[in-house]
Amino acid sequence: MLKLFNLSLIFKGFPMKEAKSELSNILALSEENFEKYALKKRNEIVKYHLENNKSYQDFVGNSSFENWNELPIMTKKQFQKPLMERLSHGFTAKNIYVNKTSGSSGDPFIFAKDKFCHALTWANIIYHFGWFGIDFNTSLQARFYGIPLDFIGNTKERIKDVLSNRFRFPIFDLSDVFLEKVLLKFKRKNFAYINGYTSSIVLFAKFLQKKNIVLTSICPTLKCCVVTSEMLFEEDKVLLEKQFGVRVINEYGASELDLIAFQNITGEWQVNSETLFVEILDEKNNVLPAGKEGRIIITSLYNKAHPFIRYDIGDVGILDEKSTFRKPILKNLIGRTNDVALLPSGKKSPGLTFYYITKSIIEDDGNVKEFVVKQTKINTFDIEYVSEKKLTENQIETIKMAIEKYLEKGLIFNFKRKEKLERTKSGKLKQFVSLIK
């Protein structure tokens, strides 16, 4: 079979052969040599950018460094200037890969990778998906993602879908009428895996649950489901595995970096140590030991075109105590640092706490399909939901009592039933949003 996916990457100028060779060499390293490799690579990439990138040199305030822990932390705000001012010497629009982040953290920006770095990203993604028998050239993907609605953007994505061996289900309309059409496609096509935004895939699973259908009974070629970009709660994972009849894999990545973590065959959330260096820091930028919760800080070890060195991605997480240089394990991903609710008492609480408490109550009977929590004032929260019938007064009272128990009393809740929920331009659903400054 013609390997269209590989050919499409090579045609775009990405040196896939060299990247796969480099990745093979990294994977062959012993535990002892891997630590030496990681420390050497992180020092090399800093040295490279201090010598070749004026923007990074200005940011650090020096052209050399002595101590890794004294290097400043980069955030998206450092990238709010034209891309050409941020590129390293020798890189232009002609010899880089350019893309932009979705802006789900509130600070979208355009970024660049050199072509070898991007080829290595793809080599690494191909390797990780291969753990579960997925070959991008031959395995047909059912893709639950957003898509640009303008003609040019839409056409580009559709062409990419053909070259990448995937069939896309746009997720801006997830009504039962649309999901019926999705189900029909699964009956007619030999999908090998599902990939896409968690919330959309969960909605499809709830639709199957209502119809008492296990997906593999109508699509026996299905091997696994990979969810990404949004939180996956344990009860949703149980639902997905039950209704799809296949394993569910949790992926964590960032377009400007790489695959960050991918659930391995034993169920651990294995961090990509091959091309990234991941640290957990406290609020004062001190490195925390494994097992402690803090900000996720990432260094891209191979991107020479554009520095991502000690880059605060905006997420909070914990590395497992059994992590090593070669095999770091992400124990928990708590959420985004900017998804925090500030309460009247002065208490700060992760926004997902509200979401999780509400979720445990209102999804029990299958009536509520999906919902979001919005903080509109310091003491006021809107809970917007899509359901077959309106929430009862008892359910509303139970939610209020649960939140008082876990957080504090005196909070006001407005429950708003909607036909559908607002998603970002890329199609993501933000489970918690704070609208107060």
Q: Find the CATH number of the domain harbouring 273.
A: 3.40.50.12780
pLDDT score for 88: 96
| Tokens found for residue 89 | 């010497």
Q: Any idea what DSSP says for residue 13?
A: T
Confidence band, pLDDT 50/70/90 cuts, at residue 29: very high
pLDDT score for 365: 63
Looking at the fold, whether 236 and 112 belong to one and the same domain comes out as yes
Pairwise CA distance, residues 426 & 313, whole Å: 18
Pairwise CA distance, residues 139 & 293, whole Å: 37
Looking at the fold, whether 300 and 228 belong to one and the same domain comes out as yes
Q: Is residue 20 part of a domain?
A: yes
- Alpha carbons within 13 angstroms on the beta-carbon side of residue 65 total 23
pLDDT score for 276: 97
List pLDDT tens digits, range 111-140: 999 999 999 999 999 999 999 999 998 999
Q: Which residues, listed in sequence order, are joined to residue 381 by a DSSP beta bridge?
A: 375, 413
Q: Is residue 120 part of a domain?
A: yes
* 422: CATH: 3.30.300.30
Place of tokens 């964590």: 252
Q: pLDDT > 90: what percent of the chain? A: 58
Q: Report residue 350: phi and psi, to 5°.
A: -55, 130
Q: How far is CA 200 from CA 146, 161, 171, 206, 426, in A?
A: 10, 19, 7, 10, 12
Confidence band, pLDDT 50/70/90 cuts, at residue 407: confident
Looking at the fold, whether 128 and 72 belong to one and the same domain comes out as yes
- Domain region containing 414: 340-434
Task: Confirm if 204 and 184 have CB atoms less than 8 A apart.
Answer: no
Looking at the fold, whether 16 and 103 belong to one and the same domain comes out as yes
Q: Is residue 317 part of a domain?
A: yes
pLDDT score for 1: 43
Pairwise CA distance, residues 373 & 184, whole Å: 33
Average pLDDT over residues 11-25: 93
Looking at the fold, whether 231 and 124 belong to one and the same domain comes out as yes
Lowest mean pLDDT among 77-91, 101-115, 199-213: 101-115
Each residue of 99-123: b (16+ CB within 10 Å) or e? eebeebbeeebebbbbbbbbbbbbb
Query: By 3-state DSSP, what share of the chain in percent is helix, strand and coil, each rounded to 5?
Result: 35, 25, 40
- Quick check: 186 pLDDT over 90? yes
Pairwise CA distance, residues 364 & 244, whole Å: 19
How many other β-carbons are positioned within 10 Å of the β-carbon of residue 233?
18
List pLDDT tens digits, range 339-383: 778 889 888 777 777 777 887 777 666 688 888 889 999 999 999
Q: Is residue 218 part of a domain?
A: no
| Tokens found for residue 49 | 């950018």
Residue at which a domain ends, from 336, 355, 388: 336
pLDDT score for 16: 92
Looking at the fold, whether 227 and 376 belong to one and the same domain comes out as no
Pairwise CA distance, residues 385 & 398, whole Å: 16
List pLDDT tens digits, range 59-99: 999 888 889 999 999 988 788 788 899 999 999 988 999 98
Average pLDDT over residues 196-212: 92
Q: Is residue 209 part of a domain?
A: no
Length of the chain: 437
Residue at which a domain ends, from 336, 368, 392: 336
Confidence band, pLDDT 50/70/90 cuts, at residue 219: very high
Pairwise CA distance, residues 276 & 303, whole Å: 10
Q: Is residue 174 part of a domain?
A: no
- Quick check: 320 pLDDT over 60? yes
Pairwise CA distance, residues 138 & 135, whole Å: 6
Residue at which a domain ends, from 292, 314, 336: 336
